[in-house]
C-alpha cells in the first residue's frame, strides 16, 4: 500500500509504558539527522485529556506524536495521529483527524472499526507520498486477544502497511523474559515473522551485565537484540499530562524542551546497534547509507 517505496517500521511494546514513544522519537531524530525524509505515525493514541497538542491548523493530536514530529524536524500534523481516544473526566471523546466525532460512540463497534481503518489508511497514504521512512508506534500490547479483531494500532497496522516490527520490553520491573517471549508466543506465525528484533528498555545498571539475558532471549526467540537501553532518570517530556503544566505547544517550542529531546534521543541511540537496526529493520529503504552518529545535542535544533 505504501507509495514512494517507503520503509514502514512499527515499534511494538509488550505493554503500555515500556518506552515505545521515546524509542520512536529517537529513531526519527536519528534518521532526520542523517538527512532522511522521516515522519512519525501513531494510528491510534489514548490520552487522559491533558495530553493533546493543537497543530498549526487547529487540529488535535497526542502530544507525544507532536514531540516525535519535532524530533524529525517537522511541524506536527493530524495525519501523524489520525485517531485519539481522549478521556475528559468520566467521558470518552473520540478525536478523528484532529476533530471530535461525537456520533462515533453510537455506531456499532464493527462498523466503527471499518470506518476508522479507512481514515488511518488515508492518512498513512498521504505520509507515504511525502516520506521515505515512516516510523510507526503501536498502542499498548499487540496481543490483547479479546479485542484483536478490531485492532487499529498493532498487528493490523503491520499487515496493512507491510511493516517490519521491533518489540520493546521494559526491564524496569521483573518479568522481561515472560513479556518478550510471551508476546511473541501469542502472535500468529505470520505476525511473528514481521518482528525482526527486540529492545530491552529501562535496564538498571550496566547493559553488559545483561549479556546472559540477551543470549537467552535470542536463543528462545530466534530474534536478535537491537539494544539494551539503561534506565534514564529525570525524563520530563513524556508521560506528563498534568492540567497544571504550561500548554504543550509552549513547552515544545522551548529551548529546555530541545535540550531534553536531544538528551533522550542521544541516550537511546547510543545504546542501539545502529548497523543491525539498518540491516534488519530499515533494509530496502531508499538510499539507506549511514554516517557515524554524533550526539544530537551537538547540532543546532532546526
Tens of pLDDT along 109-163? 777 888 899 999 999 999 999 999 999 999 999 999 998 989 999 999 999 999 9
pLDDT in tens, 52-64: 888 999 999 999 9
**pLDDT for the residue 108:** 73
**pLDDT for the residue 252:** 65
Rounded to whole angstroms, the Cα distance separating 210 from 52 reads 37
**pLDDT for the residue 287:** 47
**pLDDT for the residue 258:** 86
**pLDDT for the residue 67:** 93
**pLDDT for the residue 284:** 53
**pLDDT for the residue 293:** 47
Instruction: Give DSSP secondary structure letters for the chain.
Output: --STTPEEEEEEESSTTSSHHHHHHHHHHHHHHTT--EEEE-SEEEE-SS-EEE-TTS-EEEHHHHHHHHHTT----GGGS-EEEEEETTEEEEEETTEE-GGGGGS-HHHHHHHHHHHHHHHHHHHHTT-SEEEEE--S-TT-GGGGGG-SSSHHHHHHTT-EEEEEEE-SSS-HHHHHHHHHHHS-HHHHHTEEEEEEEEE-S-GGGGHHHHHHHHHHHS--EEEEEEP-----SSS---TTSPPHHHHHTSHHHHHHHHHHHHHHHHTB-HHHIIIIISTTSTT---PPP--GGGSPP-
Residues of the chain with pLDDT below 50 are 1-2, 239-246, 286-287, 292-302
pTM of the model: 0.88
**CA quadruple 9, 12, 16, 17: dihedral sign:** negative
Amino acid at each position: 500500500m505504501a507509495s514512494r517505496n517507503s520503509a514502514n517500521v512499527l515499534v511494538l511494546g509488550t505493554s503500555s509504558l515500556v518506552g515505545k514513544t521515546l524509542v520512536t522519537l529517537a529513531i526519527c531524530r536519528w534518521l532526520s539527522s542523517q538527512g532522511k525524509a522521516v515522519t512519525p505515525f501513531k494510528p491510534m493514541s489514548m490520552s487522559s485529556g491533558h495530553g493533546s497538542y493543537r497543530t498549526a491548523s487547529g487540529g488535535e493530536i497526542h502530544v507525544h506524536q507532536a514531540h516525535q514530529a519535532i524530533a524529525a524536524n517537522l511541524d506536527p500534523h493530524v495525519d501523524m495521529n489520525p485517531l485519539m481516544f481522549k478521556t475528559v473526566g468520566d467521558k470518552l471523546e473520540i478525536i478523528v483527524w484532529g476533530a471530535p466525532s461525537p456520533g462515533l460512540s453510537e455506531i456499532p463497534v464493527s462498523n466503527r472499526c471499518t470506518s476508522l481503518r479507512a481514515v488511518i489508511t488515508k492518512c498513512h497514504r498521504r505520509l507515504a507520498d511525502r516520506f521515505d521512512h515512516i516510523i510507526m508506534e503501536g498502542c499498548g500490547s499487540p496481543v490483547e486477544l479479546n479485542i484483536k479483531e478490531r485492532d487499529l494500532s498493532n498487528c493490523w497496522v503491520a499487515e496493512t502497511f507491510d511493516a517490519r516490527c521491533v518489540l520493546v520490553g521494559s526491564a524496569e520491573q521483573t518479568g522481561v523474559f515472560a513479556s518478550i517471549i510471551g508476546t511473541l508466543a501469542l502472535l500468529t506465525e505470520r505476525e511473528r515473522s514481521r518482528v525482526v528484533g527486540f529492545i530491552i528498555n529501562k535496564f538498571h545498571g550496566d547493559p553488559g551485565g545483561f549479556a546472559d539475558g540477551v543470549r537467552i532471549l535470542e536463543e528462545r526467540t530466534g530474534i536478535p537484540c537491537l539494544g539494551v537501553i539503561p534506565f534514564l532518570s529525570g525524563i520530563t517530556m513524556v508521560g506528563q499530562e498534568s492540567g497544571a503544566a504550561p500548554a504543550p505547544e509552549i513547552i515544545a517550542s522551548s529551548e529546555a524542551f530541545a535540550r531534553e529531546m536531544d538528551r533522550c534521543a542521544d541516550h537511546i541511540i547510543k545504546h542501539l546497534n545502529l548497523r543491525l537496526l539498518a540491516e534488519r529493520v530499515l533494509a530496502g529503504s531508499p538510499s539507506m547509507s549511514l554516517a557515524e552518529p554524533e550526539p544530537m545535542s551537538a547540532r543546532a535544533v532546526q
